[in-house]
Chains A and B, each alone.
Chain A
């Protein structure tokens, strides 16, 4: 019976745990609201749509989070053992059905609402006048290939890859279409023009990630994966690799330069002259 005696919980412990949960809720909500460490503003309409979907999810989950954590805190404090008799119940089917259907509607609804922001980047075809740039990832750099004046990419031949002689992606020397191809280590695109990236990898799986585009895509060897975007703000943004790709993983990055149309033309001219 000694055990029975010490079964009494103390109000202090209950109060402390409840308080901790309240602090957790307040702190978390504050961090999310205050945006101390925000994601940078999106520079595409799709990015905005992604953020909208993110906010929507944040509201739904936020409400559930606050209610359940505070409910837990309240239950712990209010029903702590102070000698009362526990209320005997085995549950309530109406309630079960109620919250089951509620969560089904809430969560699945959220899932379907998220479809649009995903479809915009992945389901739709790029427009006919989109600029095509081929992104080649290898340990541990990105290379960006522009088709040049003829608008056609030259064939690739792995055997001819040699970064030292300025052919990091291995353009086939025997293919005339490849003669005027431009290969550069940073990505430069004109503002408000649709760009289609053809993402490929030479060795292991890499990833092309630009926070401001809200766009992430693995670069898988053996595959050429197209994605497209339309940047709406001039500026320089960081491209990083988010897929563990070996020892230099954390050093693998490049830049996305979004420039005005005229600057873009100049860039192409310079590079063409440089070939």
Chain B
């Protein structure tokens, strides 16, 4: 299906992200399905896969025998952790893509980036136990999972450094997609680093099931992934709907969302460190939780503002659908194939003339070329040279 000349190492990093994500989903969801079926049977058919003997609910003994609650946790998290990367990997791909385009620079260390995506996907299947350090699982396997989890920090760090390398020496144009991609990098760093605390069972003794965890996964897989989605939306909206989105509205949306999310989730770390426990409906029963209330007030106000800011995005989206300025084929001077076809693309995407690929996906600012970008489909002869 790939176009002539589109070798794996010429694919945009977005495709690498989607590819690995597809594999993760393929292998992970089946496991959740199995677990879900067993759980449903426990609920409705009176089996006891996960339900141990001698449960006393409302003073009545349940007639289940010797099931294992931990078994469910293992099945669930074997799916659950890859799911985290299913959410974030496409975001990483989009971020790399957009950063390179608007820094007018090739992605720094393309091969390393692609390999890092694969590495994260691979390691993602071997770290589910770090959700279960204090669950009663063997402490020795807990330690093994801890080391494996720490090792996921390595490909993540590689990506971060390469993103910085891509920006360094670039010619950065702060369009709304670029702003969100930059926000993605910042959020990914902030959220990823707190993972290094949670990856250690000893420290997890203090932080497990506190708001620290909530802050961590919201930053890294929640907000960061959603920033990736926003970047993708602002970046590809012209291609998808043939009109440009409003830049000023996009920028306002970014500033409010960026500041807002940090105002929500940074204080959350401190609630967690002080022992604030997640999934508590009210803090009134526990004495020490009272002291943390001011932080909660701050976060809630920030949450209201951030939520309201999203209305700007929704308005911008639908308003631009109707009234946005017509988009040219290639509004961002980007190099990948989607920008060689009409906006929006015809039914078979290329109107019958399928492109051939002659070069890597991120040929920006190549010395000797007239334009500061060389689309993938340009044959060497077609490249205009600088005088």
B-binding residues in A (CB < 8 A): 3-4, 6-10, 13-14, 16-17, 20-21, 24, 27-28, 31, 36-40, 49-50, 53-54, 57-58, 60-61, 64-65, 68-69, 71-72, 75-76, 79-81, 84-92, 95-96, 99-100, 103-104, 107-108, 110-112, 114-119, 121-123, 138, 158-159, 161-163, 170, 202-203, 205, 207, 209, 211, 214-218, 220-223, 225, 238, 240, 242-244, 249-253
Contacts and interface: CB of A to CB of B under 8 A. Distances in A.
Contacts of B200: 53, 57, 110-111, 114, 118
A28 B266 contact: yes
Contacts of A170: 56
Nearest to B179: A17
Interface in B130-148: 134-136, 139-140, 142-143, 146-147
Contacts of B157: 64, 99-100, 103, 107
Contacts, number: 310
A151 B128 CA distance: 40
Contacts of A7: 173, 175, 333
Given A17-B182, A53-B202, A225-B136, A84 B291 contact: no
Nearest to B364: A86
B306 interface: no
A103 B159 CA distance: 12
17 contacts: A24-B262, A40-B288, A58-B197, A61-B194, A65-B189, A79-B170, A86-B103, A86-B171, A87-B365, A91-B110, A95-B165, A103-B158, A104-B154, A107-B196, A108-B147, A202-B55, A243-B209
B81 to A, nearest CB: 17
Contact of A96 (B109, B140, B143, B364): B109
A107 B110 contact: no
Contacts of B162: 91, 96
B182 A72 contact: yes
A104 B172 contact: no
Contacts of B251: 13
A217 B174 contact: no
Contacts of A240: 275, 277, 286
Interface string B249-282: 0010001001100100011001101110111111
Given A79-B171, A158-B61, A50 B134 contact: no
B54 A214 contact: no
A65 B190 contact: yes
B108 A50 contact: no
A100 B151 CA distance: 11
B295 interface: yes
Given A76-B182, A222-B53, A87 B169 contact: yes
Given A37-B271, A211-B275, A89 B169 contact: yes
B142 A118 contact: yes
B165 to A, nearest CB: 6
Given A38-B273, A211-B275, 4 more contacts: A111-B199, A118-B200, A158-B56, A161-B56
Contacts of B106: 88-91
Contacts of A122: 139, 142, 201
- How big is chain B's contact interface, by range? 35 or more
Contact of A214 (B151, B173, B205, B247): B205
Contacts of B170: 75, 79, 86-87
Contacts of B53: 222
Interface in B10-48: none
B4 interface: no
Interface string B152-180: 01100110111011011111111100010
A76 B167 contact: yes
B54 A68 contact: no
Contacts of A54: 197, 203, 206
A219 B377 CA distance: 61
Contacts of A238: 286-288
A65 B107 CA distance: 22
A111 B169 contact: no
Contacts of A4: 333
Contacts of B367: 88
Contacts of B353: none
B3 interface: no
Closest 10 CB pairs of A and B: A222-B52, A122-B139, A91-B109, A87-B169, A117-B202, A250-B280, A111-B150, A114-B200, A242-B209, A9-B174
B136 A90 contact: no
B139 A118 contact: yes
Given A90-B110, A118-B139, A36 B286 contact: no
Interface in B63-79: 66-70
Given A50-B206, A53-B203, A86-B103, A81 B279 contact: no
A3 B172 contact: no
A99 to B, nearest CB: 5
